[in-house]
Amino acid sequence: MSDADALVIRPAPLEQTLDLRYELLLAVLDGWPREEAQFPGDDDAQTTHFGAYLGDRHVGCATLKTGDWEGDPAWQLRGMATTPDVRGRGVGGRLLEHVEQYVVTEADCDIIWCNARGPAVGFYERFGWNVVSEEFDVPRAGPHFRMVKPLSGGA
């Protein structure tokens, strides 16, 4: 059975999400303290954290926060990552599809967007996301691109 077949994706506790987010996205950046793993709005009632699990191993995380896109209601995808041992095995794709489906079925909007690190752009493009900005620098985190995906025939 492949990793993607055994994968369970479900809402995840904030603290567990922060632990994995820090380990995968921030600990590798020189000088980032653990507190930086919590983004503004992470504890808002409308924010939803998802975890990807293989058995009891937490191997992926993603956060959806309500907001807007160019004045229209939208969801922002933030802090998405998978552990190095499952990359390239379908786990990230399943996690992304899950959060997109959540937006379609649970939300009153049809736009999802993110600020993607340069190396992740190709991953998102394979799932129908579009780059809509020039490259910009996030201090201490490096080059990023704003990406968006209309869902259910939206924007």
Q: Which helix (H) or strand (E) holds 123?
A: helix 121-126
Q: Which two tokens stand for residue 23?
A: 């380990």
pLDDT exceeds cutoff 60 at 152: yes
Give the domain range for residue 131.
3-150
Residue 155: inside a domain, yes or no?
A: no
Residue 98: inside a domain, yes or no?
A: yes
Instruction: Specify the amino acid at residue 52.
Output: A
Query: Tell me: the pLDDT tens digits for 25-50?
Result: 776 666 676 777 778 889 999 899 99
Vertex 66, ends 10 and 153: CA angle to 5°?
A: 85
Burial of 121 (0-12, 13-18, 19+ CB in 10 A): middle
Q: If you ran DSSP here, which 8-state letter would residue 108 be given?
A: S
SS3 114: strand
pLDDT exceeds cutoff 70 at 3: no
Q: How many domains does the chain have?
A: 1
Q: pTM value?
A: 0.88
Which of 18-22, 48-52, 95-99, 128-132 bottoms out in mean pLDDT, i.e. has the lowest? 18-22
CATH number, position 24? 3.40.630.30
Question: Which one is predicted more confidently, 19 or 98?
Answer: 98
